[in-house]
Amino acid sequence: MQTLILVVSLLGSIAFCKGTINGMTRKFTIRDIAQLAGVSIATVSRVLNHKPDVDPQTRERILHIMDVHSFAPDLSAVQLAGSPSRRKLSSPHAFPPDFLWGAATSAYQTEGAVREGGRGPSIWDTFVREPGTTWHGETGDVAADHYHWMLDDVALMKELQLKAYRFSVSWPRILPQGNGPINACGLDFYDRLVDALLAHDICPVATLYHWDLPLALHEQGGWLTRETAYAFADYAELMARKLGDRVSWWVTHNEPWCSAYLGYGIGTHAPGIRDFSSAVLASHHILLSHGLATERIRAHAQTEAHIGITLNLTPIYAADESEATQQGVEQLDVLHNRWFLDPLFRGTYPEQLFNNLGVAPPAIKNIDMQIIATPLDFLGVNYYSRSLIRTPLRTQHYEPVVPVPEASYTQMAWEIYPQGLSDMLLRVQRDYAPSAILITENGAAFEDSWDGRGHVPDKRRVRYLHEHLLELETVLKQGVPISGYFVWSLLDNFEWTDGYSKRFGLIYVDYITQRRIIKESGRWYAAFIKEVTATN
């Protein structure tokens, strides 16, 4: 791995920021920032590079000073020694002409309006109201208010040069009870969204489930019952009939591992159940619902449908060469990656899965695995970081990750490791050979702030995106069939248990006024898309 080291002279005079004091603009060195904060130059550079070893109070003091005085690291100054960000794409032609350049969101995280337009409650509406489940008890009640700002947001997508937009449909907004009476107002919202996207030449990519199970279905057993799988298939058919004349890209589920493991296994996500037998059973019914929905969409969409599922995949690396660590790598790979890859592409669960979790296999009916392994048109891959581990897993509540002192980290405390994206894609292509792959999420949370003058500098995100796109170019040249790339996310939004404390967006959202400001990374991404598409 190429370590990320800020280039700083002993006098702190190489890397500098622009700031304004008493109406005068001047260049501030890192030494200036350090003096104002009462810390060393090295400490400031470690904060700028997201090193995890700076105590939170010091980090906040440095970032506050930068915000107050509009300090913004200059990209030319914050060059990283040996960083891939110094490289450029060797050939923009590596990306095919019909490549889907996009950004993504989800319904509960962005829409708000949870009690408007006939929407029914979801499991997240109740989960966030349980004490201690989210940062400061924050909820998605308003979020980025996309429900009311939808047309403005689509106009911003056009300004960002997006060729595609991946959104999720709120199941309880369409079917407040999960099945039964249809909410026409909810259907109308997505009808208008799709029409607005197409009017701006933006391809709609619809995700049918991003964790917001209708509460009424949960009260009847939720994903622990087969009935929910069939209810999901009915819902998928309804959406295909309604939008299938204009939507040709469909994602059945987003990150079913999170729904099953976090929601039913360790209980940190809705519905908050802590039982690994339940997690396994829920995962089976979610996968079954995917296969059933795939068949329904193919039967009822009026255009050629491209149907897939999105998995959050994490490459697992060994921190040493010991036999015990190699065993741990295999265990974690089964738990995090093969749990869903194997049934989808091989029609079977990995043998080690149930031993690792210490549970019995779920009750599987004769044709379940055949339905689950219904051929995909594409696999969606969400990539954020890697896991570097040492020794075997000792518990299902695994925390085997070894910290990397020389690495850089996002605000989520995830190591920035672009090579993991290419390693994971090459492995998936080698072992499972999907006909196409969409990078359905890739992005980072950083401590973004508005400078008060209409600018949100976030060069760290620019660098993050650039480095990961370089990895995409690499695997495309090696024959991996990548069809699109979606930044997570279009907008700052409600980040689940982290509430509004983490910002992933290309667009900054002032949660008090709902004002939108395109960040520096959004401007960069727009210019990148324009340059790449102009050469094809």
Query: With contact defined as beta carbons under 8 Å apart, do 133 and 175 qualify?
Result: no
Closest C-alpha to 328, from 337, 318, 336 = 318
For residue 375, what is the DSSP state?
P
- In this structure, what token pair is assigned to residue 415? 């190591």
Residue 495 counted as an annotated binding residue: yes
Buried-state track 290-324, b at ≥16 Cβ within 10 A, e below 16: bbbbbebbbebbeeebbbbbbbbbbbbbbbeeeee
Tell me the H-state helices in 170-214: 171-174, 184-199
How far is the C-alpha of 373 from the C-alpha of 37, rounded, in Å? Answer: 57
Q: How far is CA 406 from CA 47, 49, 387, in A?
A: 13, 10, 15
Query: With contact defined as beta carbons under 8 Å apart, do 99 and 438 qualify?
Result: no
- 271: cis peptide before it, omega within 30°? yes
Residue 488 counted as an annotated binding residue: yes
Residue 93 counted as an annotated binding residue: no
Contacts of 107 (CB under 8 A, 6+ apart): 167, 168, 169, 170, 173, 210, 212
Q: What is the three-class DSSP state of 214?
A: strand
Q: How far is CA 336 from CA 3, 164, 207, 396, in A?
A: 26, 28, 21, 11
Contacts of 484 (CB under 8 A, 6+ apart): 99, 100, 101, 102, 164, 205, 438, 439, 440
Residue 211 counted as an annotated binding residue: no
For residue 215, how far is the Cα from the chain centroid? 24
Sign of CA dihedral 319, 320, 321, 327: negative
Query: With contact defined as beta carbons under 8 Å apart, do 521 and 457 qualify?
Result: no
How far is the C-alpha of 402 from the C-alpha of 383, rounded, in Å? Answer: 19
Residues with catalytic function: 255, 441
- CB-based burial label for 452 (10 Å; 0-12, 13-18, 19+): exposed
Pairing relationship of beta strands 164-168 and 203-209 according to DSSP bridges: parallel
Residue 254 counted as an annotated binding residue: yes
Tell me the H-state helices in 69-121: 107-110
For residue 222, what is the DSSP state?
G
Closest C-alpha to 356, from 335, 336, 338 = 335
Closest C-alpha to 71, from 463, 507, 452 = 452
Q: Which residues are annotated as a binding site?
A: 109, 210, 254, 384, 488, 495-496
Q: Which residues are annotated as a binding site for substrate?
A: 109, 210, 254, 384, 488, 495-496
